[in-house]
Amino acid sequence: MQSLKCAARVLTFSRTHVMGVLNVTPDSFSDGGRYGSVELALSQARLMVEQGASLIDIGGESTRPGAAQVSVQQELDRVCPVIERVVSECDAVVSVDTSTPAVMVEAIGLGCGLVNDVRAFSREGAIEAVKDSDIAICVMHMQGDPSTMQRAPGYDDVVSDIRAYLKQRLSMLSASGIAKERVVLDPGFGFGKSLDHNLALLRNLDGLLELGCPLLAGLSRKSMIGQILDKEVDERLYGSVSAAAIAAMKGARIVRVHDVAQTVDALKIVDAVLGLGKA
C-alpha cells in the first residue's frame, strides 16, 4: 500500500512517518499528568508537528500494565477539547487512542483522521462506530487486557501467532464492510509480551508485511528498553530511537514515539538507506 486516506488527509508511504504521543491522562507510564490542560496539550502537539510528526495520537485512558479504567464521560472530557483544537490548529493527521465506541464517534465528528484501538475493535459497537466513516483505523494485537497482560504471557510462536490474529481481525473487518485499504496493523510491543517475545517480534517484524497493510510500531520508552538498558523511563531516549530505527528497517512505516525530533533525524538516515524519498 502506497498511501492511506485519513479522512481529509492522505499519508503517502514514500517515507517513514512519526506519530507523536500526546497522553491527556494523569497516569500514563511516561508522560502522565504533563499535558492536563488543553493549552498545554496543544502546545505539545504544535511542537511535535514542528519537529516533524505527521500524526498526533491523543489518548485519554492509560493502557500501561495495571492501569485503572476510566468512565466514558471522563475519557470524552479529556480528549474531545484537545482533538478539536489540534485538528483546527495543527498540520497533521489527528489520531485518537481509544477502545471506546462513543469516543470514536465523537472524535470522528471532530475531524479525527485515524482511530488507534489497542483492543482491535473488539468491544461491542466499535466496528459500527468507524464503519461508515472515511477515516483510517489501527488494529493492534494484545494478549489479555491492560490489567492482566503481563502475567506470564505465552505463545507457540510469537510472530506466527500475532500474524494469525491480525489476519483474523482483517477478515472480520472485511466481513463488516471495512476495506483492508483503511487498515494499519500494530503488533503491540509490550502488550502481553515478555522481553524475549518483544525481541523476537522486532527481529522478525518483516514477517507481518505479507498481510498487506502498513505496519505501526510503538516501542518508545517501553519496559523492554528499560530491561535491556537497566534505565528508568526518562532515561530511555537512545534506546527508543534505536528501536524505532530497527522497526523502520524491518518495514514499519509509522513509528509511535514520545521523542519526535530525535526519531525524525534517525528515520531520515533509515529512509536514505532504504532508498525512500521525502514526499
Active site residue 278: no
Task: For residue 17, list its beta bridge partners.
Answer: 254
- Count of CB atoms situated within 10 Å of the CB of 36: 13
Q: Which listed residue (78, 221, 222, 236) is catalytic?
A: 222
Active site residue 123: no
Contact between 6 and 113 (Cβ < 8 Å): yes
Active-site residue list? 222, 256
